Amino acid sequence: MKKIRLGVNIDHVATVRNARGEKYPSPLTAAILAQKYGADSVTIHLREDRRHINDGDLYSIISKLKIPLNLEIAATNEMLKIALKHTPPFICIVPEKRKEITTEGGLNLNFKKNFLKKLIYKLKKNKSRVSLFIEPKISDIKLAKLLKADCIEIHTGKFCKLVNEKKSFKNELNKIKKAVSFGNKIGLEVHAGHGLTYKSAKILSNTKGIREFNIGHFLIGESIFIGLAKTIKQFKKIIR
Ligand code: PXP
């Protein structure tokens, strides 16, 4: 039993809804169904431009969900205020650029170090578990610990792309393995996410010390063909 938890990211249900400006498909329904079909948590990213999930989604999902909600936010005062108001059990701080298609890399922890420290302190005091989305870099992991984060989420985007393109992924996998091992050694809970498919999740699930995967784009895409229930079941089979 590897016992890796599965966080299901449902942002792209909102992307489909927003493409037509309608009320469907409903992210709330997706969250409730993900819970029913065995997700351990539900992840949503409230972006500054609200391009997928919006404030109404956050409110309805956090009011109805029984499993933990993992709210991804940028390190801004606006997001801090929202997170303090709603108190999601899990928070993951992510970098955000307006023009990016998706979260392209990990946080630059040095950039807003003092603000991040304050943010983490306030969120933890408000009883949220705080994670930092970072690259598999030892210096960043040390800094995450200094900033007093509870967890780190390793950005797996580069590794997953190499797997998808059938290129050599050994170096990138080794970086992730070292990062996971170091994170555990200094007392951080280690998660992983971004770009994961059945194949990349299967390879990564053999890395000892990863406690949680957060998976969205591939999972929602696959569920168009075989349904959310079967997709979640398949991922759980792979990562457990
Ligand atoms: N983890 C974090 C911190 C993310 O920002 C994202 C993308 O929103 C994911 C996981 C999920 O990535 P994907 O949608 O590529 O599975």
21: which residues sit within 8 A by CB, 6+ positions away? none
d(CA 100, CA 103): 7
Q: What is the pLDDT of residues 156-196, one digit of tens each?
A: 999 999 999 999 999 999 999 999 999 999 999 999 999 99
Rounded distance from Cα 221 to ligand 1 centre (Å) = 14
Axis-axis angle for helices 27-36, 55-64 (nearest 10): 30
Residue 151 sits in a domain whose CATH number is 3.20.20.70
The mean pLDDT value of the chain amounts to 96
Ligand 1 pocket residue status of 216, Cβ below 6 Å: yes
Ligand 1 pocket residue status of 94, Cβ below 6 Å: yes
Q: What is the pLDDT of residue 236?
A: 97
Judged against a pLDDT cut of 90, whether residue 96 lies above it is answered with no
Residue 24 sits in which domain range?
Answer: 5-239
Closest-CA residue, ligand 1 atom 5, reads 103
Provide the 10 A C-beta neighbour count for residue 78.
Answer: 11
What is the number of structural domains in the chain?
1
Judged against a pLDDT cut of 80, whether residue 1 lies above it is answered with no
Banded pLDDT at 3 (limits 50, 70, 90): confident
Q: What is the pLDDT of residue 201?
A: 98
Closest-CA residue, ligand 1 atom 15, reads 195
Rounded distance from Cα 157 to ligand 1 centre (Å) = 9
Ligand 1 pocket residue status of 72, Cβ below 6 Å: yes
d(CA 150, CA 127): 11
CB-CB contact of 204 with 156 (8 Å): yes
Ligand 1 pocket residue status of 10, Cβ below 6 Å: no
Q: What is the pLDDT of residues 26-68, one digit of tens each?
A: 999 999 999 999 999 999 999 999 999 999 999 999 999 999 9
